[in-house]
Amino acid sequence: MDSKLREIIAYKHYFPEFFQSLPKEVQEKFVYLFRLIQTVQRIPEKFLKHLEGTKGLYEIRVMVGSNIYRAFCCFDKGNLVILFNAFHKKSQKTPPKEIELAEKLMNEYFDQKKNQ
């Protein structure tokens, strides 16, 4: 068994609900990428990319056939990956409202953590 370098958790309901609505082959690709993120030291940018213009927000990039999916996440303490919202990408540009929601969730997550 691979030793885990990182743990992945979902913050709130956004990602789990999205994941449940996906076709089986897309779910399998996400699971494959999660395993990669958990076990590989340097994840290729093709799969995990920092979003320019954000403070620590990343997107997990999944492609199945001609369908593109994105899930937003961030790192906490370097070895914990927090999943936020995700969407089916239908145009070249990531919808600003998706990025805004991810940033809002990320801020909420760290505020909650600070106040515990």
- Is-above-0.75 flag for pTM? yes
Question: Distance (Å, rounded) from C-alpha 4 to C-alpha 56?
Answer: 21
Question: Distance (Å, rounded) from C-alpha 69 to C-alpha 4?
Answer: 24
Domains, the chain, in order of start with CATH, read 7-114 (3.30.2310.20)
48 touches 40 (CB < 8 A): no
pLDDT in tens, 44-64: 999 999 999 999 999 999 999
Mean pLDDT (whole number) for 108-114: 94
The CA-atom distances, in angstroms, between 49 and each of 59, 62, 114 are 5, 11, 26
**pLDDT higher at 78 or 15:** 15
Among 3, 27, 1, which Cα is nearest to 79's?
A: 3
Q: Kindly report the average pLDDT of the chain as a whole number.
A: 95
- What pLDDT shows up at residue 101? 98
**Is the per-residue pLDDT at 1 higher than 80?**
no
Q: Which of the four pLDDT bands, split at 50, 70 and 90, describes residue 2?
A: low
pLDDT in tens, 63-94: 999 999 999 999 999 799 999 999 999 988 88
H/E element holding 27?
A: helix 24-39
Question: Distance (Å, rounded) from C-alpha 72 to C-alpha 82?
Answer: 8
- What pLDDT shows up at residue 28? 98
User: Which tokens go with 60?
Assistant: 């997990």
